[in-house]
Amino acid sequence: MTPRLKELKFTFYRIKQSPLAVLGVIIITAFIVIAIFAPYLAPPNEPDPYLLPKTWITEPQPPDAQYPMGTGVYGTDIYYGVIWGTRISLRIAFTVVAFSALIGVFLGSIAGYFGGKIDYIVMRLTDMFLAIPSLLLAMGITSFLGRNLINMINALIIVWWPRYARYSRSEVLSVKEEGYIQSAKAVGCTNWQILFRHVLPNSIYPILIVTTMDLGMVVLVAAGLSFLGLGAEQFTAEWGNMISMGRDWVIWGKWWASFFPGLAIFLFVLGWNLLGDAFRDILDPRLRRA
């Protein structure tokens, strides 16, 4: 069995051992299943399934037989929103993380590996972006781009890639000096070959940890943006959006409109954070079997 496959199997073993990690996996799987089976769990609303179905009743109604989680403003079905919101959240999470990781890791590893002017430019660029906390920067960018789901995703990608650039750059810098890189050079591998076949796979572990947790954190920030009014459009089945719609009624005692979407966000983020945190312990090479 190749060494890499063995490592992978060992990683799974360690995951099964940690109760928190197992909990995280269960939560995430539950969300993915809900997302896949959304049309069966909550009949899609024509013409756009992501728009919440409305009636003309303004006040939120408490949960009952027809509306398992109650209704929000204008009779929006909360249960429907939570189910279909799963799809949107997963989509946001994976899109943002995938693109920002691709851009970030690529730029970061070139900067770390080749050094010199490229390094300098990339570092200055990341410095600029990292000087401002992600939520606030995303707030700034979205307000300029326009209130739109796609704009929010783009803004989040812009905000997120510098972190990956930083991580991969420092990883590459430390891997660069290892012995096997020198041997590869001696054998005659081109720089790009070395980068992709040797440097990257060995520097990927910490990035994996961050990626897992980011899948949750991105949704958290996205929900926050939607809550403030900077993300999804009105009546879209996005959790943050739904919380904001139900917000004014909470102090009048109608808690369900904001509670259930928020609970969904919490569990979603919790799942990924648990997994990521467990990864941190599992993938740490110093803590693996002696």
Q: Which residues bind another protein (CB under 8 A)?
A: 20, 128-129, 131-137, 139-145, 216, 220, 223-224, 227-230, 240, 243, 247, 250-253, 255, 258-259, 261-263, 265-266, 269-270, 273-274, 277
Query: Smaller CB distance to another protein: residue 73 or 184?
Result: 73
Query: Smaller CB distance to another protein: residue 119 or 281?
Result: 281
Rg (CA), the chain: 22
Q: How far is the CB of 199 from another protein (least distance, A)?
A: 27
Q: How far is the CB of 69 from another protein (least distance, A)?
A: 15
End-to-end CA distance of the chain: give it in Å, rounded: 20
Q: How far is the CB of 251 from another protein (least distance, A)?
A: 6
Query: Smaller CB distance to another protein: residue 74 or 259?
Result: 259
Q: How far is the CB of 53 from another protein (least distance, A)?
A: 23
Amino acid at 110: I
Query: Smaller CB distance to another protein: residue 158 or 194?
Result: 158
Q: How far is the CB of 7 from another protein (least distance, A)?
A: 24
Q: Who's near 237: CB < 8 A, 6+ residues apart?
A: 49, 50, 51, 52, 80, 81, 84, 85, 88
Tokens representing 164? 């990956």
> Between the CA atoms of 204, 88, 147 and 233, what dihedral angle is there, to the nearest 10 degrees?
-170
Rounded CA-CA distance 155/134 in Å is 10
Give Dmax (Cα) for the chain: 75
Query: Smaller CB distance to another protein: residue 142 or 203?
Result: 142
Rounded CA-CA distance 150/142 in Å is 10
Q: How far is the CB of 216 from another protein (least distance, A)?
A: 7
Q: How far is the CB of 39 from another protein (least distance, A)?
A: 27
> Between the CA atoms of 275, 280, 285 and 288, what dihedral angle is there, to the nearest 10 degrees?
-60
Query: Smaller CB distance to another protein: residue 112 or 261?
Result: 261
256-282 and 19-36 helices cross at what angle (nearest 10)? 130
